[in-house]
Amino acid sequence: MLIGDKIERDVQPEHVSDAATRRKQHPAQAIQTPGMMVSVWGCETSQNDRYTPYFSPKSLNFDGEANGMLHRVGLVSHRGHKPEQPNQDDFFVLSRSESLLFGVLDGHGPEGHDISHFVQEKLPMYIMERLRQNEVWTEAVRGAASQVSEYLAEEQRRAAHYSGTTATVLMLGHCESSPSVMYSLRCAYLGDSLAVRAQRRSRSSQWEVTVLTDAHRPDREDERSRIADMGGKVDLSPGPGVPARLITPEWKIAMSRSFGDLHAERYGLSHEIEFAPECTIEKDCETFILVCSDGVWDVMPPAQAVSLVGKFKPEEAQLAAERLVSKSQRRWQEADDVVDDITAIVVWPSSFEDISPGIATACPSAKENMMHSKSKSEASF
């Protein structure tokens, strides 16, 4: 099962307020050719979401042909066990025949769910606008992140003063630099929602695990030094099993970079996004990508997450994501009364020859676009 299968089963019109999946365009689709994108993204949080059952799934917005995504995608976002807050995680998957732009956000603070949703709508839209203007990936993302930060400071200052969000964004695009390479994979991040690439040459081989991101924790050596240069301080031992914290007069923050958290800027918190080295998806390898909130990574090392997901077939990506989230939830429950919100996206990159006839029917232009794509990854949106 893929996320498209779940959507086909659950989708309802936008006006159905209690629907698990609603038809609604992502704001980024306003700058696209109609009908050329499939979008799956998190619904805006309401006051009622504070009273949804613990571990309930976050509602989805969806637009396009459910099985029109070229790549095989699984996606799950569950509310944790935090009585005072709704699910503060968010996510997006924006699929075209040439490219896939996707990401996870993890809000924190009193209005963290509003900040994560705001960034989830704005950041990919700004990135896509800039890519369409032929900006290179790093400049497009850096400029988009600056736009988001400026908007938060000007238009969302009250909510963003004591609240913020992580953001990890990836783009999978065509690459013809080598006959053995099928796709390039780019990643930009702010905070501690990690992304991982798993790759193996054959089913008898071990998975090679590449952690694409280096979490922005206050005790990361370069982050700690930067914070000290700004006059800030880090609590390296806040308690047993508790990671280091950036100290502010109001409270201590578990990360050193985020969108929002405006009150912590003077104490060393940064809004500058970081880029992972570009990597490739090779044609003769089995490969999948994981991007998850720290609700997964705080209880499961990347190698274990890869081992669990790797037991499922590519066409079972949705089931793999569900099992990963369920396993993470159980580990939280075994260790603590509190369970974090947990979000996981699983992506198995596909060539057109790999995919089912249903996708070819739903997305008839995909094969032609793929076969004639000439290093379009920088401007694929």
Do 203 and 243 have their domain in common?
Answer: no
CA angle 269–273–278, rounded 5-degree value: 145
Cβ pair 104, 91 in contact under 8 A? yes
**Rounded-to-integer distance, Cα 23 and Cα 232, Å:** 46
Q: Is residue 244 part of a domain?
A: yes
Q: What is the CA radius of gyration of the chain?
A: 20
Which residues have CB under 8 Å from 372's CB, separation 6+? none
Q: Is residue 22 part of a domain?
A: no
The pair of structure tokens assigned to 102 is 């996707």
Residue 219 has pLDDT above 80, yes or no: yes
Do 241 and 169 have their domain in common?
Answer: no
Q: What is the mean pLDDT of the chain?
A: 90
- List the single range of 49-53, 171-175, 282-286, 304-308 with lowest mean pLDDT: 49-53
Cβ pair 254, 192 in contact under 8 A? yes
Closest listed residue to residue 364, CA positions, set 374, 375, 352:
352
Which residues have CB under 8 Å from 106's CB, separation 6+? 88, 89, 116, 165, 166, 191, 192, 193, 293, 294, 295, 341, 343
Do 189 and 299 have their domain in common?
Answer: yes
Q: Is residue 336 part of a domain?
A: yes
Q: Of 254, 278, 303, which one is at a domain's C-terminal end? A: 254
**Rounded-to-integer distance, Cα 243 and Cα 268, Å:** 17
Q: Is residue 381 part of a domain?
A: no
Whole-angstrom CA distances from 314 to 309, 321, 354, 372 are: 9, 11, 10, 25
Residue found by looking up tokens 């070229």 in the block? 70
Do 169 and 236 have their domain in common?
Answer: no
pLDDT band at 368 (very low <50, low <70, confident <90, very high): very low
Cβ pair 97, 377 in contact under 8 A? no
The pair of structure tokens assigned to 182 is 């099928």
Closest listed residue to residue 376, CA positions, set 134, 195, 143:
134
Q: Is residue 24 part of a domain?
A: no
Which residues have CB under 8 Å from 21's CB, separation 6+? 6, 7, 10, 11, 12, 59, 60, 61, 62
Whole-angstrom CA distances from 62 to 24, 103, 323 are: 5, 15, 23
Q: Range of 73's domain?
A: 3-10+37-214+267-371
Do 203 and 271 have their domain in common?
Answer: yes
Closest listed residue to residue 104, CA positions, set 152, 169, 58, 41:
169
Closest listed residue to residue 210, CA positions, set 191, 222, 194, 223:
194
**Rounded-to-integer distance, Cα 34 and Cα 224, Å:** 46
Do 63 and 117 have their domain in common?
Answer: yes
Do 165 and 99 have their domain in common?
Answer: yes
Maximum separation of any 2 CA atoms in the chain, in Å: 59
Question: Which amino acid is it at 327?
Answer: K
Do 226 and 198 have their domain in common?
Answer: no
The pair of structure tokens assigned to 195 is 């992304």
Q: Is residue 32 part of a domain?
A: no
pLDDT of residue 360: 46
Q: Is residue 260 part of a domain?
A: no
CATH of the domain at 118: 3.60.40.10
Q: Is residue 261 part of a domain?
A: no
pLDDT band at 242 (very low <50, low <70, confident <90, very high): confident
Do 316 and 355 have their domain in common?
Answer: yes
Report the domain count for the chain. Answer: 2
Q: Of 226, 254, 282, which one is at a domain's C-terminal end? A: 254
**Rounded-to-integer distance, Cα 195 and Cα 129, Å:** 24
Mind listing the pLDDT tens digit for each residue in 144-190?
999 999 999 999 999 999 999 999 999 999 887 788 899 999 999 99
Question: Which amino acid is it at 188?
Answer: A
Do 209 and 311 have their domain in common?
Answer: yes
**Rounded-to-integer distance, Cα 252 and Cα 96, Å:** 41
Do 244 and 112 have their domain in common?
Answer: no
Cβ pair 201, 241 in contact under 8 A? no
**Rounded-to-integer distance, Cα 173 and Cα 294, Å:** 26
pLDDT of residue 365: 42
Whole-angstrom CA distances from 108 to 200, 241, 359 are: 36, 19, 37
Mind listing the pLDDT tens digit for each residue in 88-144?
999 999 999 889 999 999 999 999 999 999 999 999 999 999 999 999 999 999 999
Mind listing the pLDDT tens digit for each residue in 293-304?
999 999 999 999
Q: Of 228, 254, 280, which one is at a domain's C-terminal end? A: 254
Do 162 and 228 have their domain in common?
Answer: no
